Amino acid sequence: MKDDFLKYQAQTSPHPLFMEVSHAKGSYIYDVDGKAHLDFVAGVSACTLGHCHPKVMNAIKEQTEKYMHVMVYGEFAQSPAVEFSKLIAKQLPESLNCTYLVNSGTEAVEGSLKLVKRITGRTQLIAANNAYHGNTQGSMSVMGNENRKQAFRPLLPDIDFIEFNNEDDLLKITEKTAGVLLETIQGSAGFVPPQNDYLKKVKQRCEEVGALLILDEIQPGFGRTGTLFGFQQFNVVPDILAIGKGMGGGMPVGAFIASYEHMQKLTNAPKLGHITTFGGHPVIAAASLATLKEVLESNLMAEALRKEALFRELLQHPLIESVRGKGLMLAIMVKNADVANHVILKCFNKGLILFWLMFEPKAVRITPPLTISDEEIKEGCNYILEALNSFN
Ligand SMILES: Cc1ncc(COP(=O)(O)O)c(C=O)c1O
C-alpha cells in the first residue's frame, strides 16, 4: 500500500512516519505484519479512551442503526447532539451554556472568531506568538508562526500578536479588540502552561476594554490535564470555549461554547450566521456523548495526574532537560532537535509511537490515551530511555 499511499493520497509531510495499519485496540495500533505499536500519541490527543473503546463503539453502532445524517445543522432536534450539549453545559460555568457543534477544531476556532466580531461589532483579533489554532484561513491568520503562513497570504487583516505569559503585552488589547484567542496551555509551542494567573489577567484586561476571551482547549480538553478542561485550573472563565480532538473518542468533531445570549448573534441579522451541513452529526455526537460520559463517570481525570507522576519518575536521563505539561499532555524537552528526532524514529522502529510538536523541535510529544496502564507507561518509557542511551 505504501506506493499507492504516496502516489494517490495527497501528502502533507515530506517524510511521513508511515505504517500500514491493520487494526487498533486500547493503547496499541497493529500493522499489517502483525507488529503491535504502543501508542503514546493517541491520534494527536484525539483518542481519549484509547482505540475502539467498547462504549464508543456501541454508541456508534446503536446510532447508525437508528439514523445517520438527516438534515443540516440546526433545523431538526437530534437527541445525541442535544444530550451532548446539555451534559457539557452542566459541567461548565453558567455563562458557557450553549454549544455549537462543528466537524473539526479549526472550524470551532473559525466559529469563535466570527462570533466575537458579531458580539462586539469590532474587527481586531489578538493571538499569541507560536500559537496553533488550525489550518483553515481564519485559524491560520491567528497562527503565531510567520514561516508556516507566509505562503498563504493575504490572510485575515487586523490581527495582532502578543507573547504568551508576558503581562506587558496585555496593553495591546484595546477598545479596538474584538477578541483575544489563546490556547489554555500552548501546544505546538512546546506545552507551555500559563503562569502567575496570566489567563485571569488577560480576562481582566479584556473586561476593561470590552473585548472577549476565547480559550482554545482543543488539546487539553476532555480530561487530559486532570480536569475536564484546562481553564478550570487557572482561575478564569472564557467568554467562548473552543473544543475538539479528544471530545469525539476518535471521531472528527469540534464545538464552540458560549452563553445563549451571545450565540443568538448567529441566528439573526444576518440569519444563518454560521452554518454547516454535518455539524452535530448524530453518529459523531453519539460517540462524543459516550466519551464525555465515560470521562465523567470513571476516575480517568484523577488518574491522568497520577500517571503524569509516573512518567516524570521514569523519564530521567542526562539528555532530558525537563518534562513539560500537565497530566497526560506532556513533552519531553531534550538537548536539541537531533536528540528528539533520534528518539522518535528509534522508538517508532521498536514499536512505540511518539511525535513532534510543530514549533518546538526539541520536544517529544507524549499524549497517550487516558486509559493507558502503568505497565504500558513503563514499557514505553523503557523504549525512550534505551533510545536516549543509543544516541551519540
Ligand atoms: C490547539 C489546537 N487548536 C486547533 C487545532 C485544529 O484542530 P483540527 O486539526 O481538528 O482542525 C489543533 C490541532 O492540532 C490544536 O492543537
Domain boundary at 281, 297, 313, which?
A: 297
Examine the domain organization and report whether 181 and 92 are in the same domain: yes
Examine the domain organization and report whether 29 and 148 are in the same domain: no
Look at residue 155 in the predicted model and tell me its pLDDT.
98
Element (H, E) at 291: helix 282-297
Provide the residue range defining the domain that includes 311.
2-52+299-389
Examine the domain organization and report whether 115 and 262 are in the same domain: yes
Look at residue 286 in the predicted model and tell me its pLDDT.
98
Q: Are 362 and 334 in contact (CB under 8 A)?
A: yes
Examine the domain organization and report whether 66 and 31 are in the same domain: no
Confirm whether pTM is higher than 0.95: yes
Examine the domain organization and report whether 262 and 356 are in the same domain: no
Examine the domain organization and report whether 83 and 32 are in the same domain: no
The contacts of residue 364 (CB under 8 Å, 6+ apart) are 331, 332, 334, 340, 343, 344, 354, 355, 356, 384
Q: Is the peptide bond before 157 cis (omega within 30 degrees of 0)?
A: no
- For residue 390, how far is its CA from the centre of ligand 1 (angstroms)? 33
Examine the domain organization and report whether 270 and 153 are in the same domain: yes
DSSP string, 234-288: TT---SEEEEEGGGGTTS--EEEEE-HHHHGGGTTTTTSSS--SSTT-HHHHHHH
Examine the domain organization and report whether 205 and 326 are in the same domain: no
User: Would the CB of 216 count as within 6 Å of ligand 1?
Assistant: yes
Backbone angles phi, psi at 118, to 5 degrees: -65, -40
Give the residue among 277, 278, 244, 274 at the shortest CA–CA distance from 262.
274
Look at residue 90 in the predicted model and tell me its pLDDT.
98
Examine the domain organization and report whether 46 and 65 are in the same domain: no
Examine the domain organization and report whether 107 and 234 are in the same domain: yes
C-alpha cell recorded at residue 211: 473585548
Number of domains in the chain: 2
Examine the domain organization and report whether 118 and 175 are in the same domain: yes
Kind of pairing between the strands at 177-183 and 212-216: parallel
Cα–Cα distance measured from residue 106 to residue 349, given in angstroms and rounded to the nearest whole number: 32
Give the residue among 291, 43, 262, 256 at the shortest CA–CA distance from 133.
256
Domain boundary at 276, 297, 318, which?
A: 297
Examine the domain organization and report whether 318 and 217 are in the same domain: no
User: Would the CB of 104 count as within 6 Å of ligand 1?
Assistant: yes
- For residue 187, how far is its CA from the centre of ligand 1 (angstroms)? 9
Domain boundary at 262, 297, 332, which?
A: 297
Q: Which CB contacts under 8 angstroms, 24+ apart, belong to 13-20?
A: 17/348, 17/353, 17/355
Tens of pLDDT, residues 335-355 = 999 999 999 999 999 999 999
User: Would the CB of 246 count as within 6 Å of ligand 1?
Assistant: no
We report the CATH number of the domain holding residue 336 as 3.90.1150.10
- Probe ligand 1: pick from 47, 113, 133, max atoms within 8 Å of CB? 133
Cα–Cα distance measured from residue 211 to residue 167, given in angstroms and rounded to the nearest whole number: 16
Dihedral, 46, 232, 241, 364 alpha carbons, nearest 10: -40
User: Would the CB of 187 count as within 6 Å of ligand 1?
Assistant: yes
Low-confidence ranges of the chain (pLDDT < 70): none
We report the CATH number of the domain holding residue 134 as 3.40.640.10
